[in-house]
Structure 1
Amino acid sequence: MAGRTPKNTVQDWIEAAQRTLVDEGIAGLKVDRLANRLGVTRGGFYHNFKDRDEFFEQIIRHWENSCRFLPDDPPPPRPGDAIEWLDRVIGRLIESDGYDYRFDLAVREWARADKRAEWAVERADRERLDTLQKFFEAIGCDKEHAAIRARVFYYHQIGYYAIGVRQSIAERRRNAELYMDILCGEEELKAARAAAAKGRKARAA
């Protein structure tokens, strides 16, 4: 550990846990291994956490707060505003802005063996799907169709990451509009985009 600046705050441990969970899975979250990574002794862990249960709970809370698939603000109810909200969603997913898919997948894998992580993932999925359903309702889908389209959109995106599709950011940007037409409904998006353009024109007048 000579020559290294020790890191021993709660945030240091949580960030080290995030990197390790992504790289090695839950099996890598050993106190001694993380302590070595941080340049501190095992006692540093117990300075910050009562036990491993508290540590794991804080990792899950960190994932819930930091790994945001969707913007924190809900989709607006008007089609023109909702399509601009969708554009922000697509931008953050392409740029990994506020959403680390590697961390998301690592927690999902952890959830296969840990009830706390499983409940957190189920809760996050429900919230994300509910929000996406509101978007589809805003652009004119009835409730049933909105719920199904929300699932198609969400499952596609999670599956895209899970199977490890490799595309450059530039390629994803080029394909984004066509993907959205297919996933969200070309006619609905066309009407929403027209409403958005009309709104921008009115604001500029």
Structure 2
Amino acid sequence: MTTSETRRSLREQPAASGAPAPALSPVGRPSRRGPGRAIGDLLLWIAAAGGVICIVLVVLAFTAQITLIMFRTGSMSPTIPAGSVSIVQRIPAGEIEIGDVVTVDRPGELPVTHRVTSIEPGASAQERVITMRGDANASEDPFPYTVTSVRIVLFSVPGIALLVAGMGSPIVLGGLTLAATALVVWAFWPRSGGGSRRRRAGGVI
């Protein structure tokens, strides 16, 4: 009997005798993941990305004076339609230029965001007197604004104001917190040891 025949007979012996074939080690094989696990991983990545975005926004707010504003009216349409969210950055009044879209804070009133149409020196070196007009308005605002700083619009994203406003609701924040907690617990919850028992039964230690 040749060596190759001996090896073949040894390989065929367990099948012929009805004994279970030795289990193969799972090392090196790609793990099989069900659709539930894949969806859970995707949701974890989305939650992580959302957390990173929130952290970045907080850092920018403190370091670069960058914040968000929402447009409830269409006075800046079609450039910035109602329901848009804009990224704004606070700048000194001396950096304002004609044509800039800026937000002016008004004590006791809502801020106004319009386009600058004229700039005049103020009572001090830091002050400027500006006039503004909304792109959708036929005339300038009824009075000028004396400012030492404004928030200039860097860019806008239309149609997400309601979403951003909803994210600030206590009910929504509470629901998101509970959902994120449940997702993290599910992701790190110990899995069943059935796989280990099967491997031990098959002869793998």
Considering fraction of residues, name the structure with more helix. Answer: 1
* TM-score of the aligned structures, taking structure 1 as reference length: 0.26
Considering fraction of residues, name the structure with more strand. Answer: 2
* TM-score of the aligned structures, taking structure 2 as reference length: 0.26
